[in-house]
Structure 1
Amino acid sequence: MPKQTPNKYNFSLSDYLPAKSIDIVQDMINSTCLKLCLSSPRKTIQGTYKRASKGKPHIITVNEDLNSYTFLITLLHEFAHLYAWEINRSLRHGMEWKNHFSVLLHRFIEQEVFPEDIKQALLQHMKNIKSSDAKDVNLSRVLQSYDTQKEHSKEVYLMDLDEKSEFVYNNRCFIKKQLLRTYFLCTEIQTKRNYRFHPLAKVLEV
């Protein structure tokens, strides 16, 4: 295994990444001026990238509660931002970022890092890469099947409920309505206010 460069990160990669990916990721980390940090769980994002400036390194953060495959894909997403900035001076989810992300995903797919179901979902995802894997319902669902937390075993995906079903989310009651492109319109029963929900939101059916 390549020797770890001091101060790049302060945790064991083997605790967060698939075994077959560790050497490649270690090489990627060692080849750039980067600080990799774990973050406590965040509901709306899984990772972030901050470009290097004024002598400080690039900074990538990844949520510490992700399963190993989601952690790796999130890390590659942020590395693609790093490469897009260093090579193309772009911070957007534009064509430069998509190209770098696609190359990285292909590299790890070729190394047989991912199980077959994730591999197939990624190959489909790469035909039209989105700014977040959460926007790809199929990929998100496959990745979530590798989550190990069971404390919410009674929860179901919103997309699996029938229209007009009632459900609880964050201790509030809602009614599921129609699909609006990629999100479901839902109405909070108490306030009558409408909200958009991701199809893979985990809810309790009433």
Structure 2
Amino acid sequence: MIEKLLPYIPIAAKKSLSELLNNYRFHLKITKGRKTKRGDFRATLPIATISINNDLSEAQFLITLVHEIAHLETHMNYPKAKPHGKQWKQNFQRLMLPFLTNDIFEDEILSPLAKHLVNPKATTDSDLILSTQLQLKVNCLDLNKKFIFELKSGDLFLINNRVFKILNKRRTRYECLETKNQKKFLIKGNALIKRIEPKKNTHGDD
């Protein structure tokens, strides 16, 4: 399985990941990018299934894979445990430990990742600094896109083919108005968006 994963992971992670994979039996699916998730674990029979998106950065792919293996470990030993409860947190922390090195992750990712693992959440998206650094490393990142926190109140932007206007910042989220239906939404500050440039005034001075 490790050879199948080499195009997607940091090469320095090969040895530790190979050792980790030797402890588990599951079917791995590498899928096209999904908007709603980067990976998932399913307790399918006769063998569990883990799927990971193919459009992730090497760092994102590795973290997501270990995240899902932690679900497998938790299911094996605590089948009734909450998906991201105490047992999963402990397993994720333990399984990630061998990968927390500068050979595998750059400092910009390693430091916030270590802090994230003190009390890991269901997704790295809940951690503004870590998720921002991870998204910056995505190989297919559209250079025309920005993070919503880079904009200011009143700016228009496009996300999922919908036009929004920034109203106010609320802690880690931004209150935005969808221009088409005038409904308000809260959008995470690390959301990748495409800024709509204001129209330039083409009238010359008299």
Q: 1:19 aligns with which of 11, 17, 23?
A: 11
Q: 1:158 aligns with which of 148, 165, 177?
A: 148
Shift of 1:110: 4.7
Query: Secondary structure of 2:117's match?
Result: helix
Q: 2:118 aligns with which of 115, 127, 131?
A: 127
Deviates more, 1:117-126 or 1:92-101: 117-126
Query: Secondary structure of 2:55's match?
Result: coil
Q: Which residue number in structure 1 is paired with residue 138 of structure 2?
A: 147
Q: Which amino acid aligns with 2:47?
A: P
Q: Which residue number in structure 2 is paired with residue 178 of structure 1?
A: 168
Asked if structure 1 preserves the Cα contact closer than 8 Å seen for 2:102 and 2:110, the reply is: no
Q: Which residue number in structure 2 is paired with residue 50 of structure 1?
A: 42
Asked if structure 2 preserves the Cα contact closer than 8 Å seen for 1:84 and 1:91, the reply is: no
Q: Which amino acid aligns with 2:159?
A: Y
Q: Which residue number in structure 1 is paired with residue 68 of structure 2?
A: 78
Shift of 1:111: 7.8
Cα offsets for 1:63-108 (capped at 9, x unmatched): 0111111000000100111111112222510011001111122221
- Which runs of structure 1 show a deviation greater than 3 angstroms over 4 or more consecutive aligned residues? 179-182
Q: 2:50 aligns with which of 56, 60, 75?
A: 60
Deviates more, 1:64-73 or 1:163-172: 163-172
CA separation in 1, counterparts of 2:63 and 2:158? 30
Shift of 1:124: 1.4
Q: Rg larger in 1 or in 2?
A: 2
CA separation in 1, counterparts of 2:146 and 2:51? 29
Q: Which amino acid aligns with 2:144?
A: K
Q: 1:39 aligns with which of 14, 31, 40?
A: 31
Equivalent residue pairs, number: 195
Identity of aligned residues (%): 27
CA separation in 2, counterparts of 1:172 and 1:52? 36
TM-score normalised over the length of structure 1:
0.86
Which structure 2 residue ranges, 5 or more long, are not aligned?
197-206
Q: 1:29 aligns with which of 9, 14, 21?
A: 21
TM-score normalised over the length of structure 2:
0.86
Asked if structure 2 preserves the Cα contact closer than 8 Å seen for 1:81 and 1:91, the reply is: no
Asked if structure 2 preserves the Cα contact closer than 8 Å seen for 1:187 and 1:194, the reply is: yes
